[in-house]
Amino acid sequence: MEFIIIPLAQKKIKQRGISAAWIEETISKPEQTVSGYAGRTVYQRRYKAADQKEKLLRVVCEAKEGKQIVITAYLTSEIHRYWRK
């Protein structure tokens, strides 16, 4: 799947220490896809962070002209809050 990361999202991803490989893997092979606000799609995948704790990577995207536009991405330890059964 083709995707583009907007400049603000690139800045935030870098600040948060999220690897480009994790972003790509989460979009191309999500463990879960959920609906976000304003028709956005949130791709979710669990990872072991640097502190060895399990974290959920959430990549928020908008579909535009057949591509996914990455609006933001972040890691959270509150997996239970966002994981859908």
pLDDT at position 49 is: 76
Cα-only R_g, the chain: 12
- Find, among 82, 84, 79, the residue nearest to 55 by Cα: 79
> What pLDDT is attached to residue 79?
95
Q: Each residue of 18-58: pLDDT tens digit?
A: 999 999 999 999 999 999 999 999 999 999 877 788 999 99
Pairing of strands 3-5, 41-48: unpaired
CB distance 43 to 25 below 8 Å: no
Q: How far apart are CA 13 and CA 15, in angstroms?
A: 6
